Amino acid sequence: MLKKSLTLFLTLILLLASITPALADSQKKGSAKIVRDNYGVPHIYANNVEDLYFTYGYVMAQDRLFQLETFRRGNNGSVAEVFGEKFLARDQQMRRDGYTDKEVEAMIKKMDGFSKKVIQNFADGISLYVEEALKNPDEKLSKEFHDYKVTPKAWTEVDVLRLFMSSMGVFMDSEQEIQNAKILAQLEKQYGPETAKKMFDDIFWEKDPASPNTLPEEGAVNPVKKDTKEAANQQFPGIEGVSDTISEKRNDFVETSEKLGLPLKIGSNAVIIGPEKSATGNALLMGGPQYNFSAPGSVYEVGLHAPGIDIEGSGLIGMPIIMFGTKENYAFTSTYGVGNLVDIFVETLNPENPHQYLYKGKWMEMEKKVETFTYRNDKGELKEETKEFYSTVHGPVTYMDEENNTAYSKAWSFRGTEAQSWSAYLESNWANNMKEFQKEAQKMAMSINWYYADKEGNIGHFYTGKYPIRDERVDLRLPTPGTGEYEWKGFINPKDHPYAINPDTGYIVNWNNRPASNWGNGELSFMWGEDHRVQQFIDLVNAKEKLTLEDIDDINYHASYVNLRTKWFKPMLMEALKETNDPKYQEVYAALQDWNNLNEDNNKDGSYDSPGVTIFEAWWPLVVENLYKSQLGDAYAPLKGIIDHRYGSSLTLRVLGGSNGPLETQYQWFNGDPDQFMLHSLDQALAQLENQYKSEDISTWLKPARMIVFTNTSLVGLPQYGSKIEFLEANRGSENHYIELTKNGPKGYNVNPPGQIGFISKDGTLHKHYEDQVELFANWKYKPVLFTEQDLATYAVSTEVLDIKK
């Protein structure tokens, strides 16, 4: 590792106009210039790759060291040492499923020289700031370090790569197959195998032809051809108890991750417009990565400038990678692909030795690793606990059910290739055109949608991931027998993944929907249905012949505040109301008709503007409950969030006769009159509301607006250092960027709340850039994307020159 020392001096530019356009001209060899704009965003100018990424690591640590410490501990399984025993189970899962330091080091050794150079210098930059901070902790260590009595340590290449490996692995993780198997078993107990199968297939359809797609029909392959003649036996004894235990552990993992401010509920949306649908004739791109609304935010913004690269944008904290940004000739963004990269294998255990499992006719020994955990107990004392973890040929053992002689192991298709994906992300930042960008997309093993738009007018979408070719006898919605008969048969060639370049539609939109009509996602199939939130973007993009960035922002605004169930179900309710002469129903009809389907509070009185919000939000949960609760019995609780989830409620659309697609239900969920059913649920809702508001006057039924804040959820139970500025709840990207690719370069604007710098002084004073983008975000305002030196000169407020001695 290079040993570097740094002499830093800060020049405060008092007159903004005094900064010359050639900001890098005064740099000498072995130095880097950091120009901060009026929102604290660093724009780094360096003479070589080493200095660029070294400085990148340094400024990220300068701005967000405690967040980096939290992310590092969250991904290497050492949280409980600081935050207490309640995080011990989470630490154990991270180490159970993760890699040892030696394993990560081995992966780094196999990486290409460029990637290793970047990782090393980025880690060295963070370490240098740590070294400086330890010499002056009162000024350079954020308040949290003092409160929690945490001493930061130098970073290594292992820390940098593991953060990506673990974070992305957690994003792609799924244990839904086990929950599905439990639900099927519960239904079989209540209804018998035949009826249960019909109900299960309705809830977890394998493919909905009416589900909206991002790409045209061509350019995709079907990952699996199903063979039902010799179907595998995927009924496993004791699955209900196993599912309950694993679900409880999963819920604890999610809860403790959110307390650390580690993003798990990712989504993201994107709109890319080609020249023929652009009002200016230039390609347009909007990205809205959806991470937690936390303070500090999950992504970090930066400008990177050195020979061979000029790029501006943001990426997940701790990664020297721009995930959402722009270069001189193209812009890019991404969304989660919701692909099927994880399988649960059910191992048959040896009754005489539970650490042996049957594989291809032989008893195999599980591999064992021993990990020691340090945790802080309720008295604040540090304790140690040693735990053994086991794995099979498929992956880590997540649960041992010795009573039924089974074990559950988890197989990630991308396991062992995370370093390759890290390099692909890095290299995509250095691509010069679409061909090079697509080449890196084909190396990415994680399930992500990558989007591209350039100043030549080209737009593209590339669906990434390492997708197994699974045995055709296996039902992909359920766990797979681990005896060796149903192993993966290789992986789909990345060249056969869904993709589109300059599609005939003239646009690309995505909100985690299906990439192409013949692409499935196994146990997560219920997330891709006819009722899908992406339809909000599709409808509004199609409604205009030509669009500007401002139009796209308006569309994003609508999608952020719309009640997603209004797309299909409000018209159905209004049609039922229209057929009646009841005066009360006519009042409801008028309220719903006047409501624009958005949950807005334009007059800032603390309530939503329309009683339509109140009525619809009281009615819809009763529709779901009345349709399914009595029929599903014990299975209703785990199924409620699947039947009516954040992407849509497609089964309900079919059950109530509102579907326009060919997929039909196999089970008779409802045999009455849909209109009368909806009105019955409405009657219940109106009775509740009359009692709640103590009035029959619908105009007074204004529901309190849901407000949220950017909060540092890692400090649950302790003083909150996050932003206290409230803003209206929105289903919106936690960062937004809008770019137009003009012939003269990129132009656009963005917002990355709550603020760039997550530093809190020892006395509790928030840095001036801690939350200065919250008001922008709340009021749908933006700051300009400062790409060129001329752009930056107008907004620059300070310059640091780092003299780097090697």
Residue in this structure with the two tokens 């089974």, named with its chain if needed? 406
408's enclosing H/E stretch is: strand 406-412
On whether the CB atoms of residues 12 and 798 are closer than 8 A, the answer is: yes
Length of the chain: 806
Q: What angle do CA 669, 670, 673 make, to 5 degrees?
A: 165
Cα Rg of the chain (Å, integer): 27
Whether 176 and 183 have beta carbons less than 8 Å apart is answered as no
Q: What are the E-state strand segments in 499-591?
A: 499-501, 507-510
Q: Tell me if 651 sits within 8 A of 667, measured CB to CB.
A: no
Active site residue 298: no
Q: Which tokens belong to 161?
A: 């790569």
Say how many C-beta atoms besides its own lie within 10 A of residue 324's C-beta: 29
240, 690 Cβ separation under 8 angstroms: no
Render 599-653 in DSSP notation, one character per residue.
---TT-SSB-S-HHHHHHHHHHHHHHHHHHHHHHGGGHHHHHHHHS-SS--HHHH
Scored b (16 or more CB within 10 A) or e, 75-97 reads bbbbbbbbbeebbbebbbbbbbb
Give, as one character, the DSSP assignment of residue 549: H
Mapped onto helix, strand or coil, the DSSP state of residue 272 is: strand
Whole-angstrom distance, CA of residue 131 vs CA of residue 123: 12
Q: How far apart are CA 423 and CA 476, in angstroms?
A: 30
Q: What CA–CA distance (Å, rounded) separates 400 from 416?
A: 24
Q: What residues does 316 pair with on adjacent strands?
A: 299
Contact 408, 478 (CB under 8 A): no
H or E segment and range at residue 318: none
Residue 44 · residue 33 · CB < 8 Å: yes
Residue with tokens 């652009």: 278
Task: Please state, in angstroms and as integers, the Cα–Cα distance from residue 743 to each residue in 83, 328, 455, 788, following that order.
Answer: 52, 10, 6, 14
Tokens describing residue 494: 């990345």
Mapped onto helix, strand or coil, the DSSP state of residue 481 is strand
| Phi, psi of 180, deg, nearest 5 | -60, -45
Alpha helices (runs of H) in 724-804, residue ranges in sequence order = 774-778, 789-795
Nearest in space to 397 (alpha carbons), one of 372, 364, 352, 351 = 364
Is residue 42 within 8 Å of 802, Cβ to Cβ?
no
DSSP state of 299: E
User: Residue 578: left if φ>0, alpha if ψ -120 to 50, beta else—which one?
Assistant: alpha
Query: Distance between CA atoms of 132 and 64, rounded to whole angstroms?
Result: 14
What are the distances in angstroms from CA 452 to CA 289, 458, 541?
15, 8, 18
Active site residue: 31, 166, 211, 268, which one?
268
Q: Name every residue whose Cβ is closer than 8 Å to that of residue 132 and which is 6 or more positions away in sequence.
A: 6, 140
d(CA 595, CA 610): 6
Which residues are catalytically annotated? 268
